[in-house]
Chain A
Amino acid sequence: MKYFWIQLVLIVGSLSLALMFIRRWDRANTRAWKRIAFSFFVLVNIYAVLRPTDVTWFAKQLGVGRGTDLVLYVMVLGMGFLTLNTFLRFRSLEKKLTDLARTVAISEGVRSNDERLAPEVLESSESVKA
């Protein structure tokens, strides 16, 4: 039971990663939560720099030997979130780009094909072309 709390933290973190992947992640309120988490992260950072021994104390409470190890674990989770967030962001951007490019391609294509192919149809139907 020594590692119970840190195991709980890491497992909950991993599960929320999975949840983030199957849920839509670009809604306004999830964005707000991401901002709250980021502000919290900054505050904890400042605190940890000012009182490093407290981090070790907190790590011990969770069952982790040193503060450094706790920071490492949290960083791994943070990296996971960051990677996933970037991936989802890129995918939604790619979809938008595709839709945009397709719309441009088709409207442009309709215009130029009408111009390019219409005279040919006329010519061949009247057998003007030798």
Chain B
Amino acid sequence: MTPPLSHLGEAVNDYHDTWLVIPAYNEGQVIADVVEAARKTFPNIVVVDDGSSDDTAKHVAQTGAHLVRHPVNLGQGAALQTGLKYALEQPTAQYFATFDADGQHQTADVEKMVELLRTSEVDVVLGSRFIEQNGQVPWIKRVVLRTAAAVSPTARKLKLTDAHNGLRVLNREAAGRLQITMNGMAHASEIVGFLAGSELKVAEVPVDILYTEYSRAKGQSLINGVNILFDISLRERGRR
């Protein structure tokens, strides 16, 4: 392992201007591996420990990632916003990726998405599980998520196929304007709503999601969709 050489050798794929934001809540089992794997490509990572009761922070501290700790558990939306705010304070940061702590996202997909941001006029790139049907998504989840994308007016406006994908890359302008106020899981819909209401250019690219045993156990249960719908409908009424 010669870290300096590997950095020099990858001048073509230099991702020093990209920050991975990883919200983590009780991910002690896997977080260090996920971070170390991602750091092979992306040197700048901020992990937001969302008030975990396990040893997540200790595992992150052993890696080369930046660690920000919520003193209390606030929810994934709040953790994302904190991570984005931290990354935005880094002057060299240009691209901001939201990445899952449970290892279901691929760094190769993030590279693809950053390349798209660099080479086109697009401000935000969202990952989609459904552009290329690869049969990895459990069928019941597929039905529910596709329905959510189809009935959500904002997702329809942006012609999204997958409104609740955790893998997103934003440029500095988009990240700076995004204000996630939904602390819980409704932030995914909130982000889509924000993008639909702005004039930012949004693109969707196919991504691979690894549904491992671990991520299945940790992931969103479908019944939580009820909570998300409820939060969103209250927000729409309560905001003005």
B135 at the interface (CB under 8 A from A): no
Residue of B nearest to A127 (CB): B4
A43 an interface residue at 8 Å Cβ cutoff? Answer: no
Q: Is B237 an interface residue (CB 8 A)?
A: yes
**B24-54 CB contacts (< 8 Å) to partner A:** 46, 48
- Asked if B70 is at the interface of the complex by the 8 Å CB criterion, the answer is yes
Q: In the complex where A95-B181, A98-B78, A125-B4 touch, is A106 in contact with B66 (Cβ < 8 A)?
A: no
Fill in one digit per residue for A75-109: 1 if any B CB lies within 8 Å of its CB, else 0. Answer: 00000000000001001001101100110111011
A52 to chain B, nearest CB (A): 39
Known: A21-B237, A102-B78, A106-B86. A94 touches B183 (CB 8 A): yes
Which of A101, A113, A117: most chain B Cβ within 10 A?
Answer: A101
Name the B residues within 8 Å of A88 (CB-CB).
238
The verdict on A124 contacting chain B, using a C-beta distance below 8 Å, is: yes
Contacts of B238 in A (CB 8 A): 21-22, 88, 91
Asked if A105 and B4 make an inter-chain contact with CB atoms under 8 angstroms apart, the answer reads: no
Q: Tell whether B177 is near chain A: CB-to-CB under 8 Å.
A: no
Closest chain-A Cβ to B66's Cβ sits at a distance in Å of: 5
Q: C-beta contact mask, B62-74 vs A, less than 8 Å → 1, else 0?
A: 0010111111101
Tell me, in angstroms, the Cα distance from A113 to B61 when the chains sit together: 9
Contact residues on A (Cβ < 8 Å of other chain), bracket: 20 to 34
- Contact A102:B85 (CB < 8 A) given known A97-B72, A113-B67: yes
CB of A61 within 8 Å of the partner chain: no
Tell me which of A94, A105, A120 contacts B70 (CB under 8 A): A105
Chain A residues within 8 Å of B69, by CB: 105, 108-109
Q: Is the CB of A109 within 8 A of B72?
A: no
| Beta-carbon contact of B72 and A124 below 8 Å | no
CA distance A116 to B63 in the complex (A): 10
Contact with A along B174-202 (1 / 0, CB 8 A): 00000001010000000000000000000
For the complex of A and B, the 9 pairs showing the least CB-CB separation, nearest first, are A109-B68, A113-B66, A102-B82, A124-B3, A105-B68, A105-B70, A101-B70, A98-B78, A106-B86
In the complex, given contacts A98-B74, A106-B82, A109-B66, what are 16 additional A-B residue pairs having Cβ atoms less than 8 angstroms apart? A22-B238, A97-B72, A101-B70, A102-B85, A106-B86, A108-B68, A109-B67, A109-B68, A110-B89, A112-B67, A113-B66, A113-B67, A113-B68, A117-B64, A125-B4, A127-B2
